[in-house]
Structure 1
Amino acid sequence: MEEERGLVVATERYGSAESWKYLGKDGVMERRRDGSEGESRGNSIVGVFKSVFLPQGYPESVSKDYLQYQFWDTLQAFSSSLSGTLATQASLKGVGVGNQEATVAAATITWLLRDGTGMLGRILFAWQKGTKLDSEAKKWRLFADVLNDTAMFMEILAPYFPAFFTLIVCTAGIFKSIVGVAGGATRAALTVHQARRDNMADISAKDGSQETLVNLAGLLISLVLIPLVTDNPVLTLSLFFLFTILHLFANYKAVRSVVMETFNEARLSIVLQQYLGDRRILSPLEANQREPVFFEFRKTVPIRLGVRLQEVVQSPEELNLALKNNNMPFLLGVRNGCVCVCLGPEASVHDEIRAMCQAVWLSSMLTPTSSEPLPPFISLLYINRGALSVLRGTHFYFYFFKGHWEMVHESHKVMDTIFNPFLKGVEAAGWDMKRTLLDWDEWRVEWKTKSS
C-alpha cells in the first residue's frame, strides 16, 4: 500500500502531538498525516482546544507538574468565582442597592473608602513582604487564598452589622488588596518555574484564558444561584462554606502538586538534614512533598542572609574569630538569637548554597529539640572514621558547651568534609544548581584578613 502512494522522502512533527510524512511519486510530493484517517477529525478538535488553552509546545514546553497544578488551580478558581458572587451580592445589598432610603453619595463614599484602604494595604504589604514571595511562593499562595475567603466571609456578614458595615468592608478591602499582591506575585513565580523554553508570556496568557473560561462558567451558574440565595441568608452561608471548602482543598492540592527544582531555605534544610542523617539525597519530588505549605510558628533560630558586617562582628577581634578556619567568601555569626551570614561580592551560587547549609546546620544546633530548653550553645557532633554526622532522636548525644564562635568554626569543619559530596549528590538528583530562591539581602562586604 505504501509503495502505491510513493516513497517517504521526509518526515516532520509538531511537538509530540502530530507527525506527518512527505511521499514522493512521479515527480509529485504529497503530505500525509501519520496514523489512521479516522483519528484526524478528532485530533483536530483536540488540537484546537490545546492551541487555545495550553502553551505552545505542550507538554515539552512546560514543567512536568503543569497539568496537575492547572487542574487544581482551575477548580479553585471556579469555586472562588461562585463565592465571589455571593460576596458581591452581599456588598451591594450593604451599600443600599434595593433600599429606597439609601443615598448614592453614602454608597459612593463607602466604596471609595474601601478602595482607598485597599490601595494603602497593597503598598504596605508589597514593601514588607515583597522579597519573601519568590522564596516562599507556595506558602504565600495558600495564605492568599485563605485570606481571600476570609475577606469574602466578612463581606457576606457585613450587611447584618450596619453600624460597622464600612469598617468591615474596608478591612475586607485591605485583605483583598493583600491577596492581589500575594496571588499575582506567586503566580508569576510559579510561571517562572513552569516555563521551560523562556515562554513565560505564553504560559501566563494561556493561564489567563483558562481562568476566563472558568469565570464564564461560574457566571452562568451564578445566574441560577442569585435568585435562590436572595433574602435567604441560611442558603447563602451554606453555599459559601461549601464553595470555600472546595476552594481551600483545591488550593492545597495545587501547591502540593508543584515540584520546584531550585533550593529555598525549607527545601535545602530538608535535603541537608536527610543527608546528615543517612547520607541519602532526596529528589526534588521527595523534598517538595515534605516542604511545609503553611506558615509555622514553632520556635526555631531564624537565619538572615546578606546582612551588614556589624550584624556578624562588632570588633576586629571578632572579625579574626569569624575568619578562623574560613577561606570562603562569606562570614557567619550568631547575634541576637539569629544566625547571620555576611556575603562577599565575589561569592558564586555554590558559595551561597554552602553558606546556607552552614547556617541551617547552626540553626538546627541552636534550636531546642524537646520541651526542655537546652543550653544556649551546644555542638552535636559525632566523629566516626573521619566522617562527620549530626546525631538526633534516639542516637547518642555529644554535648560540648562552647561559645558560638566555636560552633561557627565547627560548622566550617563539617562543611569542609561533607559539602562537595553533597553538592555532587544534589546535582545528580536533578536539583537546579544554577540559581536559588534563597532570600538574600543586598549587602555585600569586602573584608581584610589580619595578615593583609
Structure 2
Amino acid sequence: MAGEEAKILCSEHYGARRDRRYVQQGDGQLLRRSERGPEAALSLASLFTSVFLPQGYPDSVSGDYLSYQIWDTVQAFASSITGTLATQAILKGVGVGDSTATITAASMTWILKDGTGMVGRILFAWLKGSRLDCDAKKWRLFADGLNDLAIFMEIIAPAFPSIFILIVCVSGVFKSVVGVSGGATRAALTMHQARRDNMADVSAKDGSQETLVNLAGLLFSLILTPLATGNILLTYLLYALFTMLHLYANYQAVRAVVMDTLNQSRLRLMVNEFLRTGRVPPPRSINPREPLLPAFQRRLSIRLGTPLHSILNSAYDYQRAIENNRKNYLLGLNRNTGVVCVSLRDGAGSVDMIEAGFHAELLDELLHRDASSFRVGRVTCTELQAKLKSERDERLWDTVAATHLLVDQLYPRLLSEARAAGWLTERNHLGADEWRAQWPLEGKKGQ
C-alpha cells in the first residue's frame, strides 16, 4: 500500500564500501533490494579498486597500507625512469649503433655482468639473509640507495671504455644485492600488511600496481629517451632529479610502515620510554622514531642465541650466570668489549627472547643513563648504578645477578602493557641465532 512503511527483513554488506537491505513491500508478496552507498553496477572507481587493491580493502590490510603504497608507487615510477637511462647507456657501451662492435663482444659483456651478479646474489643471501626480517625498513632503504648507485655506475660506464666491463660487473653485483634485499624485505612488509591470511592476494595486487606504474614510466620514457640520447648533460640532470625523488619517496614509504613486532631498535625505544614514563607506547608512537640509517655509535651490542662459550669461561662464570636466575636464558656482559651475549634454553619461546632483550636493554640503560631520571624501579636502579661504579670485574657478575630480581619485578608489567598497547609478543624480530642449551634451573638440580 502507498505510504505504508516497508518492513526490513535482513541486511548485508560487502566489506566497508557497500551496504544492502532486503525489504518486504506493503502487500507482503514481493521481496526487493534497497541499497545504500555505491550502486551495484561497477563504476570506474570500483573497477580500479577490485583490480589493484586486495579483496576486502581496507579491512583486509594494515592501517598503513595506503600511505605506504602511495609512496611506493612514486618511487617505482622514478626508478623506472632512471632504469631506462641506465639501459640506454649500457646498450651504447656494448656497441649498439657502432658498426665496429661485434655480437661476440657484446654477448661476453652481458654474460660477465649477469654471472658476477648471480655470484653476488648467492653470497649476500648467505651473509645477510637471516638479518633481513629483523630490520626490514633499513634493508629496504639500503636496497633502493644501492640500486641508485648501480644505475649511476651504468650511466657513466660508457665514458670509461677501458674499464667498461669492470664497471658493469660491479653494477651487476650491486643490483643482485638489491634484488635479494629488496625482494626479501618486500615479502616481510607484505606479511605485515596482510591481516586476513591473504598474503598472496596482497602480493599479487602489489605486483599489479608496480606493473601499472612501470607501464606509465615506460610511456614517459618514450618521450624522454629521444631527448636524452646524445645529451650527456640532460641525462645526468634527469638522473639527479629522479634519484632524489626516488630516495625521498622510499624514505617516506618506510616511515609510513607501522610494524607491531619487536626488533632490537623498537625494543630499545620501548624500554627507554617505559623506564622514563612508566608506560609502554603503542606501535604508532615507536615506529616513527625507529632509526633507518646505520648507527655509528651503538652503546652495547646485543646478541641473542649465542653459544655458551661466549658467556662462560670457567665454572665460576657458570655459577654467577645462574645466580638468582630461574629464566630460560643465561646472560653475560663484558664491559670492555661492550657486548651482551644471551644463551637461550632449549624450548625458549618468543616471550623469553623478549625478556632476554629487555634484560640486555636494562643493563644498557644502567650503564649509560642516570637512573635518577627513571620513573620505574628508580630506587633499585640507583643502587645498581652505585654498585656498577665500585665493581672491578669486567664481566659485572654482581650487577648481572642483581638485575635478575629487577627483571622479575618489571618484565611482567612491561609485557602486559605491551600487549594492551597493540604489540605482538607471540613472535619477534630480535634476530636470535639458533644455538640452544640445557642447564638445570637453580634449586632444581635434578631437572
User: TM-score of the superposition, structure 1-length normalised?
Assistant: 0.91
In 2, Cα distance between the equivalents of 1:46 and 1:340? Answer: 54
**Which residue does 1:430 correspond to in 2?**
422
* Structure 1 residues 272-324: Cα deviation after superposition (integer angstroms, max 9, x where no partner): 01111221322211110110011111143211110111111122221111000
In 1, Cα distance between the equivalents of 2:192 and 2:379? Answer: 35
The answer on 1:122 being equivalent to 2:121 is yes
**Which residue does 2:32 correspond to in 1?**
30
Distance 1:97 1:385, change over 3 A: closer
* Structure 1 residues 141-200: Cα deviation after superposition (integer angstroms, max 9, x where no partner): 000000000000000000000001000000000000000000000000001110110000
Distance 1:253 1:3, change over 3 A: farther
Deviation at 1:27, TM superposition (A): 2.5
The answer as to whether partners of 1:381 and 1:389 remain within 8 angstroms in 2 is no
Distance 1:387 1:2, change over 3 A: farther
The answer on 1:232 being equivalent to 2:231 is yes
Distance 1:187 1:389, change over 3 A: farther
The answer as to whether partners of 1:301 and 1:364 remain within 8 angstroms in 2 is no
In 2, Cα distance between the equivalents of 1:338 and 1:24? Answer: 73
The answer as to whether partners of 2:324 and 2:442 remain within 8 angstroms in 1 is no
Aligned partner letter, 1:29:
L
**Which residue does 2:7 correspond to in 1?**
7
The answer as to whether partners of 2:371 and 2:378 remain within 8 angstroms in 1 is no
In 2, Cα distance between the equivalents of 1:294 and 1:274? Answer: 21
* Structure 1 residues 72-127: Cα deviation after superposition (integer angstroms, max 9, x where no partner): 00000000000100010001101110111111101111100010000010001001
Aligned partner letter, 2:345:
G
Between stretches 13-22 and 356-365, larger displacement belongs to 356-365
Distance 1:161 1:2, change over 3 A: farther
* Aligned residue among 397, 400, 412 for 1:408: 400
Deviation at 1:411, TM superposition (A): 2.4
Local SS of the residue matching 1:135: coil
Aligned partner letter, 1:355:
A
The answer on 1:54 being equivalent to 2:35 is no
Distance 1:151 1:261, change over 3 A: same
In 1, Cα distance between the equivalents of 2:68 and 2:2? Answer: 43
The answer as to whether partners of 2:304 and 2:431 remain within 8 angstroms in 1 is yes
Aligned partner letter, 2:287:
N
In 1, Cα distance between the equivalents of 2:173 and 2:202? Answer: 29
Taking the TM superposition and a 5 Å limit, the aligned residue runs for 1:91-240 are 91-240=90-239
Deviation at 1:410, TM superposition (A): 3.0
Taking the TM superposition and a 5 Å limit, the aligned residue runs for 1:283-362 are 283-335=282-334, 336-362=337-363
**Which residue does 1:372 correspond to in 2?**
none
Distance 1:383 1:149, change over 3 A: closer
Between stretches 312-321 and 160-169, larger displacement belongs to 312-321
Deviation at 1:432, TM superposition (A): 1.4
Local SS of the residue matching 2:340: strand
The answer as to whether partners of 1:388 and 1:414 remain within 8 angstroms in 2 is no
The answer as to whether partners of 2:21 and 2:34 remain within 8 angstroms in 1 is yes
Deviation at 1:41, TM superposition (A): 7.9
In 2, Cα distance between the equivalents of 1:23 and 1:450? Answer: 70
Between stretches 419-428 and 237-246, larger displacement belongs to 419-428
In 1, Cα distance between the equivalents of 2:2 and 2:286? Answer: 51
Q: Note the residue ranges of structure 1 that are not aligned, 5 or more in a row.
A: 370-378
The answer as to whether partners of 2:82 and 2:242 remain within 8 angstroms in 1 is yes
The answer as to whether partners of 1:383 and 1:389 remain within 8 angstroms in 2 is no
Deviation at 1:24, TM superposition (A): 2.4
* Structure 1 residues 388-422: Cα deviation after superposition (integer angstroms, max 9, x where no partner): 4757xxxx988523222122113213212211221
* Structure 1 residues 411-451: Cα deviation after superposition (integer angstroms, max 9, x where no partner): 21321221122112212211112211110111110013576
Distance 1:84 1:382, change over 3 A: closer
Aligned partner letter, 1:412:
H
**Which residue does 1:71 correspond to in 2?**
70
In 1, Cα distance between the equivalents of 2:14 and 2:199? Answer: 20
Distance 1:212 1:118, change over 3 A: same
Q: CA RMSD in A?
A: 2.3
Q: Percentage identity across aligned positions?
A: 50
**Which residue does 1:376 correspond to in 2?**
none
User: TM-score of the superposition, structure 2-length normalised?
Assistant: 0.92
The answer as to whether partners of 1:136 and 1:264 remain within 8 angstroms in 2 is yes
Aligned partner letter, 1:400:
K
**Which residue does 1:80 correspond to in 2?**
79
Deviation at 1:384, TM superposition (A): 9.3
Between stretches 429-438 and 67-76, larger displacement belongs to 429-438
In 1, Cα distance between the equivalents of 2:23 and 2:244? Answer: 57
* Aligned residue among 415, 420, 425 for 2:412: 420
